[in-house]
Amino acid sequence: MMSGPLLLLSLLLNLNAQSEAFDPAFILANLEQQGEQIQFTETRISGLLSEPLIVRGSLRRSDNGDLIRETTSPSQETQTLGSNFVELRRSSGYRRRFSLDRAPELAALRTILLALLDGQMHTLSDDFSISGVGSSVDWQISLAPRRDLIAERLDKIVLLGQTTRLNALVLRFEDGSEVKTQFDTGLETDTEFNPGIDAGIDAESDAEISTESPPSSTP
C-alpha cells in the first residue's frame, strides 16, 4: 500500500500532468476544420419572448471572403458579414445594409467563424485574450476581445468543445445577455449552457437595418 507522502506526491504529479495537458492555444491550433458549410442551431432567451427562440440555418464563406449566414427557421433570411458591412436580405424582398462598426459584436463573430471555416483558429490570439478551463478531452475556452470598441459591448465569447471538436459558441454581452450557437457535428455532445435573460445579435441588427435614415453619430 502506498504511504501518505507517496500518495500525496502521486496526486500532485497527476494534477500537474492534467494541468499541462490542457493548453487552450494548442486546442485552437488543432481543432478539426468544419468544412465549407456548417449547420447550426441558435438559442436565444429574452424577457420579451414567452419561450426561447430557436433559429436554425447554415454558415459558409463566399468566394470573395464574406461570411454568409442563412437561416431556414423560423424564417428565411440571409445575413452577409463583409469586411466592413452587414447586409440583411429576407425572402419578402426586404434588403438593408449598414456599417459593421455599428455592430462590433458581429465583427468579432465574423472573425471567429471565418477562422473556424478556414481551419485557422490559432490566429485568434491577434484579436482576443485567450484563457480556458477543463481538460484536453472536455474544455471551455474564453476569448476576451482586445479592441475597446468590441469590449464595450461584448464581455467574452466562450467556445465549448471536446478533444479537437468545437461543439458550441456562446456570446456573452456586457449587459448580461447571451446567445448560444450549437454546431451540428453529427455526434452526440454534452455541452452545458445557461442562457441569459435577453436576446442577442439579430435583434440588434434588425433595429439598425430597419432605420431608413441612419443617425448622424455612431453609437
54 in any annotated domain: yes
82 in any annotated domain: yes
- Mind listing the pLDDT tens digit for each residue in 52-88? 889 999 999 998 989 999 999 999 999 999 999 999 9
Spatial separation of the C-alpha atoms in residues 172 and 155, rounded to whole Å? 6
Entry field: residues in the chain:
219
Spatial separation of the C-alpha atoms in residues 14 and 12, rounded to whole Å? 5
- Spell out the residues 6+ positions from residue 28 whose beta carbon is closer than 8 angstroms to its own: 121, 122, 124, 130, 141
49 in any annotated domain: yes
User: How confident is the model over 144-165, as a mean pLDDT?
Assistant: 92
User: How confident is the model over 110-136, as a mean pLDDT?
Assistant: 89
pLDDT of residue 143: 95
Per-residue cell: 46:
429574452
Domain that holds residue 90: 24-186+196-208
70 in any annotated domain: yes
User: How confident is the model over 43-59, as a mean pLDDT?
Assistant: 83
As a whole number, the mean pLDDT across the chain is: 78
53 in any annotated domain: yes
In this prediction the pTM is 0.73
144: pLDDT strictly greater than 50: yes
pLDDT of residue 5: 55
Total structural domains in the chain?
1
CATH of the domain at 167: 2.50.20.10
5 in any annotated domain: no
- Mind listing the pLDDT tens digit for each residue in 185-214? 665 544 444 433 233 333 333 333 333 333
pLDDT band for position 3 (cuts 50, 70, 90): low
14 in any annotated domain: no
Q: What residues does 169 pair with on adjacent strands?
A: 159, 181
146 in any annotated domain: yes
